[in-house]
Amino acid sequence: MGLFEANKGPIIEDFPEDAPVSDGEVTALSCPVNFIQENVNLSKMDQLCSAFKKEMISMRPWYDLSVQKRGRTTYGVSRVELDYLDDFLCSLLKGKVPDNPRGDIDLPYTLNLATDDLKAYYFEAITTQPGQESPSSESLSDWFYNDTLAGKVLYKLRDICKKSEDGLMKILGTVLIIPATQEAKKIKNRDVPSLD
């Protein structure tokens, strides 16, 4: 009897033939593109920078939406291109001196402005997300310095600048990269983030 001609169902019908058999080995099918990155050969700093780059990329749609909705941005005083900001900051973490996009000021000043640009990027992105339109400046700062990899990168930069032989870099690390209010909270809570 044909299965389509049955009056009611469900109908289980035996099929008198076996499924075709292949002479070759069974191989697993997979996507030809592998997005998994092995971190086994990366230093801790390289791992941090890789994760930081991914975090920045994940914030980009929200930042772009913010610029579209507000018609402006406060990002850009450092003149470090947004797509290069993570590399600019991470090159300093790795002991390299990046090109200074500002010929009118020394690198420490550009670095200070780049950290301001980084905060502007994150703050504009987060305040575009639903339910985050008007957080207090304290909660924004707490979120940025405690919950993001960008905050962890700035703590690392602070430590590197404090050890610098360059007087301007030392000042940058001592008083400018991390706000005094965040430093005070860390000391009070004894909750200094692990930077390794």
Domain definitions of the chain by residue range? 43-177
- DSSP 3-state of 156: helix
Read off the pLDDT of each residue in 3-21 and give the average, rounded to a whole number: 60
% of the chain surpassing 70 pLDDT:
74
- pLDDT at site 69: 93
| Direct distance between the N- and C-terminal alpha carbons of the chain, in angstroms, rounded to an integer | 72
Are the beta carbons of 181 and 137 closer than 8 angstroms?
A: no
- pLDDT at site 66: 93
pLDDT tens readout for residues 66-107: 999 999 999 999 999 999 999 999 999 998 988 999 989 999
pLDDT tens readout for residues 22-81: 443 333 333 344 444 555 567 888 999 999 999 999 999 999 999 999 999 999 999 999
pLDDT at 14 over 80: no
Integer-rounded Cα radius of gyration of the chain = 26
- pLDDT at site 128: 87
- pLDDT at site 15: 54
More confident position, 11 or 129: 129
Q: How many residues does the chain have?
A: 196
% of the chain surpassing 90 pLDDT:
46
- pLDDT at site 136: 82
Rounded to 10 degrees, the C-alpha dihedral 122/158/78/101 comes to -130
Average pLDDT across the chain, whole number: 81
- Name which of 178, 192, 186 is nearest 150 in CA terms: 178
- Name which of 15, 149, 170 is nearest 90 in CA terms: 149
Cα 93 from Cα 90, distance rounded (Å):
5
Banded pLDDT at 175 (limits 50, 70, 90): confident
3-state secondary structure 34-99: CCCCCCCCCCHHHHHHHHHHHHHHHHHHHHHHHHHHHCCCCCCCCCCCHHHHHHHHHHHHCCCCCC
Read off the pLDDT of each residue in 145-158 and give the average, rounded to a whole number: 93
